[in-house]
Structure 1
């Protein structure tokens, strides 16, 4: 039953019979047979029939929720039994919004010092992708915004407040400035993250609230690409304060807070809401509480 539920989850995620079969390491007829057996066992039709994948039936959508719960709980049980025998081992997968990548080492380094048999895979993903990866049991945790756009069923630990700075290499033009308004920033040739990134949507919201309309002259899904363009002197950018600090190079770029308003958004660690949590997730949540700049005094 578990293996059939896992195949069903993969099909729902891939939305393509051939791709799902390849991901599961089986032939397409084997995948189709497993799905028919699952439907016979449950007494409902899960997938809309056709020459191609056409989506899940209403019953299929509901079974998908149960499948995630059952498969997730089964994996949690296996992980806990393995941890009881060997301690925490294996690879921990964390998906992170690009603007928070510079601080991930603050979590992974002390974690691995306590659990040396654990390795990490750190993935750069959008906030929407992080939620989907959690829902589909493809990652252990995510680092994303937790106070701006709705999250699914997650456990969250706030880590820090993201503040926004204008970054420019035109040092002479801004030598006497300690801050800049959102409206003023909009007048500059800006390079920004792409619209699928929540950071970009946040920046657009604040610019719009300030009555400023902006059309970025360059967009990228890479903070490094934005920073290198700023260094040319032909662009400015709006970046989180922590990200600017990680780049250093204070002698070559100027960073100043953006005010009116002095906006902040909370970035935190999220995990799928499941009780009991896996041992590795429990350990991550504990480490995140120790790291949090926003923990109660």
Structure 2
């Protein structure tokens, strides 16, 4: 059994198409198909349901993919570990982040890159919380920045980073613009643009509104905080955004960020990695940076 065969199987599971999987692996489709067929012979189980086109993996194939992902992740972790011992940490680190936390990601990646100049970083910044946990389980990313739920399983390790709190973003001419604070009830009466309902950042807002017996009906929904800010700029809408985003943009010209109270809600955001040992050397290095970086203090330095 070769690592390459396992890579082909994982790619086929991900792409769900022989041609796309072959393209992702930089091989011809016949070469990929033949390698998977030989893997089936070695394991003596059918891995792929074959027809005129790809019809999915067999139950055995689905199970073997989990093992393949784990084996390949351990191989990569071993290479990174050996490389770190010889020349220092090098390679590529992959971070997934929920959209509301992307404004804080640079507060981790900047000191990380300074400490490890041979590492490149890839940030996937528009993932949902469930996607981050799934990709961590499947070894597709090394670490995630997301909401720290109480029900996170023991398969994950967490490092709290900051408390996400919320502001009403409105134009300077808005009726609540010059208030020191605004209530959630007052915000619910405004024409709102909000994140989509599938996103955890939006579900937090909905929970607050529900506790107050309110059901705002936003006319615009998006999966991008930047898009929310752009809509507020048209002076037709107001929005509710995480305070952490102001660290990146400040309060945009012509707008006001009014803290929301009654209730003053905050949700814990943190770094999440898998609990497997020895695990990713990249994840361990990023965890060390997270533990000694006061991200909360940096974000609180943002004015409103």
Common fold, TM-score beyond 0.5?
yes
The superposition leaves residues 12-46 of structure 1 with CA deviations (integer Å, 9 ceiling, x where unpaired) of: 11111211111111222222222222222222222
Q: CA deviation at 1:162?
A: 0.8
Match of 1:273 in 2: 275
Match of 1:85 in 2: 86
Matches within 5 A, 1:1-297: 1-127=2-128, 128-147=130-149, 153-171=155-173, 173-174=175-176, 177-249=179-251, 252-291=254-293
Q: CA deviation at 1:216?
A: 1.6
The superposition leaves residues 96-120 of structure 1 with CA deviations (integer Å, 9 ceiling, x where unpaired) of: 2221111112111111222222222
CA contact (8 A) 2:107 2:295 kept: no
CA contact (8 A) 1:180 1:256 kept: yes
CA contact (8 A) 2:126 2:223 kept: no
Give the whole-Å Cα distance in 1 for the aligned partners of 2:153 and 2:236.
Answer: 37
Give the whole-Å Cα distance in 2 for the aligned partners of 1:82 and 1:272.
Answer: 21
CA contact (8 A) 1:183 1:211 kept: no
Unpaired stretches in structure 2, ≥5 consecutive residues: 297-304
* Cα distance change, pair 67–28 in 1 and its aligned pair in 2 (3 A): same
**Normalising by structure 2, what TM-score?**
0.87
**Normalising by structure 1, what TM-score?**
0.89
* Cα distance change, pair 25–132 in 1 and its aligned pair in 2 (3 A): farther
The alignment partner of 1:256 has SS state of: strand
Q: CA deviation at 1:189?
A: 0.7
Number of residue-to-residue matches in the alignment:
294
Unpaired stretches in structure 1, ≥5 consecutive residues: none
Give the whole-Å Cα distance in 2 for the aligned partners of 1:69 and 1:163.
Answer: 37
Give the whole-Å Cα distance in 1 for the aligned partners of 2:293 and 2:161.
Answer: 7
Moved more, 242-251 or 76-85: 242-251
CA contact (8 A) 1:9 1:136 kept: no
Give the whole-Å Cα distance in 1 for the aligned partners of 2:176 and 2:186.
Answer: 12
> How much is the aligned-residue C-alpha RMSD, in angstroms?
2.4
* Cα distance change, pair 25–245 in 1 and its aligned pair in 2 (3 A): closer
